[in-house]
A and B are shown apart, each in its own frame.
Chain A
């Protein structure tokens, strides 16, 4: 995990940026727990061995990742909590859906209070 102090885009005093690399192999993520602090600018950079749509619950961020290149989700961790990242549709599909089927929790993001 790399720590970079940076000026936040909102012009506040320096907010901590945190970048975490996550690798999905055989439908398992490594690491499967990411801990950050409230107020951090969080970047999760994903690499996968098969196409997958990821969904970070709570912050409600979706990301489609293919094996060819790493993809990032970046957001301000403004809310504390323990948020699952779930894999929808391993193998890739264009449709959006309403959380009907079995979804696998790949990772938990814990945003700790300052």
Chain B
């Protein structure tokens, strides 16, 4: 029985669209925009999922023991061309959305549920694009509005100052910093729901991106400083559709590969990219962790600690918002914690590989295997956001007809009411646990292949993977545990 016509759904707040959405908004700083209504995964399913992950890991190790994983691709991978116009049109669409978000944010109704900016940024873009990038392919390469505009201007301009040479050692650190700032906005910033704040942030990020492109060259800046180019790029390495050549080709070609094969690194990645991957893993996990009662207990513990009192009082006087301060501390501490744990296990992996030629250093090991952890983060991201995407995402329907909250009805959908029953808890639980377990299996497989590439010897490779397996089981179990916790605010 759908909720749309039942007389029991009394809506006291004015305006059908606003009311159906208003029931949906949660206090600011909950989660980018709006609340999540997920039920905790039942204990049996959580333990079953963890057990399955462990059991399947052993099965995979046994399989690898019997058969050396191929070091090189043996089957030719299908390559097909994409019409350049398709990519161009997606770019136009991306620019249109950028303009809409900025205009709506600056000039539209400032209620988060009457303005199209919050749902577009926090649900359709951040969650939606991540889903598409991880499961299908990196659609952001075409949608990226900053790249699209820069290309159009580049096509028009006839020359100008040559770009400054980008310092090679800097890698993608600017992107890392920008991404952590974005994660802070999503998870700790109380202004994250406000349309004006969103428009301001988007405008500022656009300025930074275009300035970076002007100074260092468009392509250089994309890889070095466009945080979402890098992040969606990392996620999309899991996907089957990979770019076959430079994205500058007029008819870009895509290669169809197996899921996760692009995460098998042939050589260690850069320090900055390693940091980016660890930052992504940590922030995705912190997103869920900060909604657990364990986090609330930690937060209360910090507030009650006598030794920290003067620092906390100072921070509160400076910022006026102690909750935000502590969440910021947590958000910064998580990547450091992840890095420390990961480096320990990298050292153990190196030890387990034994001595011999081709043994990498701990740092090289860390940089070589970091991509193999990405599927676990993707699985968790899918699980954590599934019902949010399906419930919050519906906000786009009435807001498409009234994006600025002025009472318009452009497409006749302004009176649409969100259906909170669109997805059932059992479905969410099953998909969530399955996504995490599949992510875990993929991670184990990728790490094994990477080990073989790195060490060349099957037996050493398998031995070296035992610490990595322990780390992955730990990370998977933590992810499942978070899903099994009731959400508290």
Residues of chain A touching chain B, judged by Cβ–Cβ distance below 8 Å, are: 9-10, 12, 38, 55-62, 74-76, 78-84, 86, 96, 98-100, 102-103, 105, 108, 110-113
Report the count of interface residues on B (CB-CB < 8 A): 40
**B324, chain A: closest CB distance, angstroms:** 13
**Of A57, A74, A105, A113, which one neighbours B426 at CB under 8 angstroms?**
A113
Residues of B within 8 A of A62 (CB): 10, 12-13
Interface-forming stretch among B17-25, B132-140, B439-447?
Answer: B17-25
A61–B20 Cα distance when bound, in Å, is: 10
Report whether A96 and B14 are in contact in the complex, using a CB–CB cutoff of 8 Å. yes
CB interface residues, B 1-29, toward A, < 8 Å: 1-3, 6-14, 19-20, 22-28
Q: Which A residues are CB-close (under 8 A) to B6?
A: 10, 75-76, 78
CB neighbours of A79 from chain B (8 A)? 3, 37, 419-421
A-side contacts of B426, CB under 8 Å? 80, 113
Question: B8 and A75: CB pair below 8 A?
Answer: yes
The A-B contact count (CB < 8 A) is 104
Task: Tell me whether B339 is interfacial, beta carbon within 8 Å.
Answer: no
Is A57 a contact of B35 with CB atoms below 8 Å? yes
CB distance from A58 to the nearest CB of B (A): 5
Give the secondary structure class of B's interface.
Answer: loop
* List of A residues within 8 angstroms of B171 by Cβ: none
Most buried by B among A10, A78, A103: A78
B residues with CB within 8 A of A = 1-3, 6-14, 19-20, 22-28, 35, 37-40, 111-113, 387, 419-421, 424-426, 486-489
Q: Which residues of chain B are near A55, meaning CB under 8 Å?
A: 23
Bound CA–CA A82/B485 (angstroms): 11
Tell me whether B424 and A10 are in contact (CB under 8 A). Answer: no
In angstroms, Cα B45 to Cα A103, docked, is 33
A81 in complex: contacting residue of B13, B28, B38, CB < 8 Å: B38
List 20 contacting pairs A-B, 8 Å CB cutoff, sorted by A: A10-B6, A55-B23, A57-B23, A58-B23, A58-B24, A58-B37, A59-B3, A60-B19, A60-B24, A76-B1, A78-B1, A79-B37, A79-B421, A82-B37, A82-B38, A86-B27, A99-B27, A99-B28, A113-B424, A113-B425
Cα–Cα, bound, A100→B111 (Å): 9
Determine if A60 and B487 form an interchain contact, defined as CB atoms under 8 angstroms apart: no
Chain B: which residue is nearest A74 at the CB level? B8
Measured between beta carbons, the chain B residues less than 8 angstroms from A83 are: 37
A-B pairs, top 6 by smallest CB distance, nearest first, are A60-B23, A79-B421, A81-B37, A80-B425, A79-B420, A62-B12
Extra 9 A-B pairs, beta carbons < 8 Å, given A60-B13, A82-B486: A56-B23, A59-B9, A75-B8, A76-B6, A78-B6, A79-B419, A80-B426, A105-B488, A112-B39
B27–A102 CB distance below 8 A: yes
**Interchain CB contact (< 8 A) of B425 among A12, A56, A81:** A81
Contact A78 B11 (CB under 8 A): no
B138 CB to nearest A CB, Å: 32
**What chain A residues lie within 8 Å of B12 (beta carbons)?**
61-62, 96
Q: How far is the CA of A61 from the CA of B26 in the complex (A)?
A: 14
Q: With A79-B421, A80-B424 given, is the CB distance from A57 to B20 under 8 Å? A: no
Chain B residues contacting A76 (CB-CB under 8 Å) are 1, 3, 6, 8
Across the interface, name the chain A residue whose C-beta is closest to B37. A81
A103 contacts B27, CB within 8 Å? yes
The reply to whether A61 and B10 contact each other, CB–CB distance below 8 Å, is: yes
* A109 shortest CB reach to chain B, Å: 10
